[in-house]
Structure 1
Amino acid sequence: MPRVNLQGSSSIVTGGASGIGEACARQLAEAGSKVVIADLNEEKGSQVASEIGGVFVKCDVTKTEDADAAVAAATELGPLRACVNSAGLGAPGRTINRDNEPLDLDKFSFVIKVNLIGTFNVLSRAAAAMAQTEAMDEDGSRGAIVNLASCAAFDGQIGQASYSASKGGVVGMTLPIARDLSVSGIRVNTVAPGLIDTPIYGEGEHAEAFKAHLGQSVLFPKRLGHGEELAFAVMECITNPYMNAEVIRMDGGIRMPPK
């Protein structure tokens, strides 16, 4: 059984303007797929889309109309075969602060809305489009969805209640969604990154020293992961036709301490 051939297909990558999403978009394009970069960062997203021969769609993943626009743009480029949900954010905050005041519920809800509900919003709409395509093989395969969670889903640190809950939700819905979509020949997997070298850490000598320090807590190799390495796992989930309903930690073996 050969790998899934993405030549002539279209794909969607949320959060594709930078970091892990950008790395995934570039590897999808190298595999022959026309990529829709669905992101809020218009300048960077348009630049990446231009460089890889794709299309940029400004997208708030929590809005159904934005998700529909991204799907519509993809289907114009070719049959939609892959959706990578990489958009996400974190807003640290302890359940109660040092003055014993509870965390603002709106802050907690916002992280859940973007990371969990936003992921479901885009994947469900992408799945609806995938289900209407012609099957690619004798198995009836029509596409693959990959969601990005985090090792915080398992090893949430102090102040990460909202982030861990959102990513734990992504992990928890992987199997039932894969079961839901099996009748349509659509596979669903989740990749859970550890400490990844993204622009969030800043630039310059101080940032590099901080990242090197963080890297020492990784089992091996003792460094932060690269976006390309996460994208390798995402591409495996998309192109390996037997990879389904799985959650893969990509974290160099790290197990996060309380803080």
Structure 2
Amino acid sequence: MHIKDRTFIITGGSSGLGLATARELHSHGGYIAILDMNTDAGEEVVKELGSDRSRFFEVDVTDTDSIANALKGTSAWVKKTGRQIGGVVSAAGVGNPGKIIDRHNEPLSLSSIDFVLNINLRGTLDFVRQALPYMTQVQPDGADGERGVVILVSSSAAYDGQPGQVSYAASKGAVRSMTLPLARDLAPYGIRVVTIAPSLFESRMTAMMSDKVRKSLERVMEFPKRAGRGEEFAQLARQSVENIMLNGVTIRLDGAMRMPSRL
């Protein structure tokens, strides 16, 4: 699929991997709808990219009505520009680490579990399911009749989560697991599904790590021995849009890193 003159809807698009993806797709001629909770940051991104090919829509992915309103706003903008939707990127996510039972013999609170699952899993599913009715009405492109692509964000924690990542690994493992059935559901419409599972990447989430934790993680990386950069994630997101044979797959983007059981 060509990126130029198509609209891409990105949750978590005002920071981290979502922002890097927004910049990458915009640089290749895409129109970018940025969906995020942070209004100030979102409006700054629109200033950076230019209001001719970008718009910000405030959204809380844990709120169904909020998602619906943001997508309605995006749809109105698409009708105005005439640049049909090419894909959606679900990049909103949180970490919130906590062991399932702590040193005081207290179990992890259900509110903490719900917080992670509601954003990373429920929010992803709700955003995608509400975006699809707009995507299925897109005019098919090319001989294969492609209509668009759904890009999801999992994590290396879906494969080898660390202590304290039970909720996070559960949410990201679920995203990984739903990739193929989602692709099968959407195949009749010419819509592909690609999931990217990054390891340690520079983002708002990893910025909260201590230097000790970061260095411990970098030591178990094979090559390169550093955190991934946003533009490297965004490059794979762009290739996921452009390469029609990428479908129903989760791609690890981790420099051969395997998360240790102990830091």
TM-score (norm 1): 0.93
- Asked whether 1:52 is paired with 2:55, we answer no
Choose which of 172, 175, 189 in structure 2 pairs with 1:170. Answer: 175
The Cα of 1:199 is off from its aligned counterpart by: 3.6
The CA distance in 1 between the partners of 2:159 and 2:67, in whole Å, is 28
Equivalent position of 1:20 in the other structure: 17
Amino acid at match of 1:254: M
- Asked whether 1:62 is paired with 2:82, we answer no
| Root-mean-square deviation over aligned CA pairs | 1.8
The Cα of 1:44 is off from its aligned counterpart by: 0.9
Equivalent position of 1:248 in the other structure: 251
The Cα of 1:36 is off from its aligned counterpart by: 0.8
The Cα of 1:210 is off from its aligned counterpart by: 6.4
- Asked whether 1:144 is paired with 2:149, we answer yes
Map residues 1-16 of structure 1 onto 2, 5 A cutoff.
4-16=1-13
The CA distance in 2 between the partners of 1:136 and 1:72, in whole Å, is 23
Equivalent position of 2:164 in the other structure: 159
User: Which string of whole-angstrom CA distances, capped at 9 and with x for unpartnered residues, describes residues 20-73 of structure 1?
Assistant: 000000111112111111011111111112211311111111222222233223
The CA distance in 2 between the partners of 1:247 and 1:180, in whole Å, is 16
Helix, strand or coil at the partner of 2:248 = coil
Aligned length: 254
Q: Which consecutive segments of 4 or more residues in structure 1 shift more than 3 A?
A: 199-203, 206-214
Helix, strand or coil at the partner of 1:248 = strand
The CA distance in 1 between the partners of 2:205 and 2:125, in whole Å, is 24
The Cα of 1:107 is off from its aligned counterpart by: 1.0
The CA distance in 2 between the partners of 1:143 and 1:202, in whole Å, is 32
The CA distance in 1 between the partners of 2:174 and 2:214, in whole Å, is 28
The Cα of 1:214 is off from its aligned counterpart by: 3.4
On the 8 A contact 2:194/2:248 being kept in 1, the answer is: yes
On the 8 A contact 1:196/1:226 being kept in 2, the answer is: yes
- Asked whether 1:226 is paired with 2:202, we answer no
On the 8 A contact 1:11/1:74 being kept in 2, the answer is: no
Map residues 91-130 of structure 1 onto 2, 5 A cutoff.
91-130=96-135
The CA distance in 2 between the partners of 1:21 and 1:178, in whole Å, is 22
The CA distance in 2 between the partners of 1:197 and 1:145, in whole Å, is 23
On the 8 A contact 1:157/1:258 being kept in 2, the answer is: yes
The CA distance in 2 between the partners of 1:257 and 1:209, in whole Å, is 14
On the 8 A contact 1:35/1:74 being kept in 2, the answer is: no
Gap change, CA 1:149 and 1:133, over 3 Å in 2? same
Amino acid at match of 1:251: D
Fraction of identical pairs, as percent: 40
Could you tell me which runs of 5 or more consecutive residues in structure 1 were left unpaired when the two chains were aligned. none
The CA distance in 2 between the partners of 1:202 and 1:137, in whole Å, is 42
Map residues 72-91 of structure 1 onto 2, 5 A cutoff.
72-75=72-75, 76-77=77-78, 78-91=83-96
Could you tell me which runs of 5 or more consecutive residues in structure 2 were left unpaired when the two chains were aligned. none
The CA distance in 2 between the partners of 1:67 and 1:251, in whole Å, is 31
Amino acid at match of 1:15: G
